[in-house]
Amino acid sequence: MVVGDISTGTDVAVVGAGPGGYVAAIRAGQLGLDVTLVEKDAYGGTCLNYGCIPSKAMITASGVAHEAGHAEEMGVYADPDVDVAEMVDWKDGVVDQLTGGVEKLCKANGVNLIEGRAEFAGSDKLRVVHGGDGQGSETIEYEHAIVSTGSRPIEVPGFDFGDDPVLDSRQALAMAELPSSMVIVGGGYIGMELSTVFAKLGVDVTVVEMLDGILPQYGDDIARPVRQRAEELGIDFHFGLAADSWTDTDDGIVVTAADEDGEETEFETEKVLVAVGRQPVTDTLNLDAVGLEPNDDGRLETDHEARTDVENVFAIGDVAPGPMLAHKASKEGEVAAEVIAGEPAALDYQAVPAAVFTDPEIGTVGLTEDDAAAQGFDPVVGTFPFNASGRALTTGHDDGFVEVVADEESGFLLGAQIVGPEASELVAELGLAIEMGATLEDVASTIHTHPTLSEATMEAAEHALGHAVHTLNR
């Protein structure tokens, strides 16, 4: 136990041990720097403890349960008995295994771990308050600091996450008992991934989305198969409505949402999950002390080296500009550590993939056809539908397609959009192709194992070149 104020010095102080911070710390340790990682809650951050990993575990488990009970077409008749408390225990076990691994890896790479809440205490100084009563605080003097404090869910006014029927994604993923019904406010990443989980587990799910469709960052072609499947699962969608209040009733609660003319619609439900985006955690860091000010989004502006306006302070992950994705946070962490160690490193956002783990999945990387045209390319597009893929048909999941985008003149691959089975995995091959400067010809002439879903990427490239074999050419 640490009591009173002690003072230490370090080359690199990393604040926050999520996929940005712990990767930065490990990389800095590998590069021979003295590094101190401060975490106030749990190693692995939002992603490992409350986000990516728990949600993907529950997506898999609910998918297994649903598939087992819906395989009559394959001659399988089963009525799975789901114990949600055991499912949640299994999910927690997966999380513990991973977070324990992060702690061990940090120690093995010489990272000093400090448990407590850090804030800036002047130029080149952090103050860390340890958890619990009487545990004291310490001051860390640093040469460089990396801010990786992540994000928290945005609250809709009137929907306080502390009030029992109102849940954020963390609380929803920890429920050991399921409600009979749930309204999900927001049809974005979390709304769509978790609506699928709860619908597959038999909850009566309603999604209330402010805009006129789900997953607004993706085009209609990509979102359509996801919405169709969600409707088949019984999810009820209401668009153009913003949730504004809820009240208790004898049987649960009523959530009220209004359209842009103020016309109100009421939804009776047992629980309401609010997933309307996340905001960066920069307001608790006493940034004034170091001369930093967040932008209007609450983020810290950074340059191509992940450096903020203050020379020796870096910002990575959800607190920095760009998509709030774990792999983007980790890459920024590596770059920040390498720059601090004097290595030649810079951020390159040309091929940041994204995946939505819905049913079917979405996987994208690089430019869409419209983006490519806007950037002055002359785009050529090739597609391949999964209902023409032998492997997709043998898995019973043949919704969706692969689309590749390339520059017509040079043939260089510029982007890919996939909706369909294992899209989150398939997109990796095309990300590598873009990074390596591969052409359509390179992808088309690579022999892919048969029968696999990955053949669809080769087929889409062949289609763009005008010599598709298993689908009609343009």
Ligand X SMILES: Cc1cc2nc3c(=O)[nH]c(=O)nc-3n(C[C@H](O)[C@H](O)[C@H](O)COP(=O)(O)OP(=O)(O)OC[C@H]3O[C@@H](n4cnc5c(N)ncnc54)[C@H](O)[C@@H]3O)c2cc1C
Closest chain position to ligand NAD (CB)? 188
List CB contacts of 318: < 8 A, sequence separation 6 or more: 18, 20, 46, 150, 151, 278, 280, 281, 324, 329
Exactly one of 20, 150, 191, 400 binds ligand NAD (CB under 6 A); that residue is 191
Exactly one of 12, 14, 52, 372 binds ligand X (CB under 6 A); that residue is 52
Minimum distance between the CB of residue 326 and ligand NAD, rounded to whole angstroms? 7
Residue 139 φ then ψ, to 5°: -110, 135
Q: Is 2 helix (H, G, I), strand (E, B) or coil?
A: coil
- From 144-152, 205-213, 290-298, 429-437, give the range in contact with ligand X by CB under 6 A: 144-152
CA distance 111 to 108: 7
Q: Quick check: 146 binds ligand X (CB under 6 A)?
A: no
DSSP labels for 344-398?
A: ------TT--EEE-SSSEEEEEE--HHHHHHTT--EEEEEEEGGG-HHHHHHT--
Pick the catalytic residue from 450, 463, 467, 470: 450
CA distance 254 to 262: 17
Q: Quick check: 149 binds ligand X (CB under 6 A)?
A: yes
187 is in an annotated binding site: yes
Task: Give the rounded distance of the alpha carbon of 55 from its chain centre.
Answer: 10
Of the candidates 339, 282, 284, which has an alpha carbon nearest to the alpha carbon of residue 127? Answer: 284
Q: Which is nearer to ligand NAD, 39 or 209 (CB)?
A: 209
Q: What's the half-sphere exposure (Cβ side, CA atoms, 13 Å) at 204?
A: 6
Residue 453 and residue 396 in contact, taking contact as beta carbons nearer than 8 Å: no
Interstrand relation of 354-356 and 313-315 (parallel, antiparallel or unpaired): unpaired
- Report CA Rg, the chain: 24
Minimum distance between the CB of residue 238 and ligand NAD, rounded to whole angstroms? 9
Minimum distance between the CB of residue 119 and ligand X, rounded to whole angstroms? 6
Q: Binders of ligand X: how many residues, by CB under 6 A?
A: 37
Minimum distance between the CB of residue 445 and ligand X, rounded to whole angstroms? 32
- From 31-39, 170-178, 205-213, 308-316, give the range in contact with ligand NAD by CB under 6 A: 205-213
Q: Quick check: 205 binds ligand NAD (CB under 6 A)?
A: no
Strands in 223-328 per DSSP E: 236-239, 242-248, 253-258, 264-269, 271-274, 278-280, 313-315
Site string for ligand X, 183-222 (x = CB under 6 A): -------x--------------------------------
Residue 199 and residue 233 in contact, taking contact as beta carbons nearer than 8 Å: yes
Residue 444 and residue 450 in contact, taking contact as beta carbons nearer than 8 Å: no
Q: Which is nearer to ligand NAD, 31 or 242 (CB)?
A: 242
CA distance 86 to 338: 42
Minimum distance between the CB of residue 145 and ligand NAD, rounded to whole angstroms? 24
CA distances from 199 to 202, 225, 251, 289 (A): 5, 16, 20, 48
- From 147-155, 209-217, 410-418, 427-435, give the range in contact with ligand X by CB under 6 A: 147-155
Site string for ligand X, 84-123 (x = CB under 6 A): ---------------------------------xxx----
Catalytic site residue 450?
yes
Minimum distance between the CB of residue 406 and ligand NAD, rounded to whole angstroms? 25
Residues that bind ligand NAD (CB under 6 A): 156, 185-191, 193, 208-211, 216, 242-243, 275-278, 323-325, 355-357
Residues that bind ligand X (CB under 6 A): 15-21, 38-41, 45-47, 51-52, 55, 117-119, 148-151, 169, 190, 281, 284-285, 317-318, 324-327, 329, 357
- Binding residues for FAD are 39-47, 56, 118, 318, 326
Q: Could you list the active site residues?
A: 450
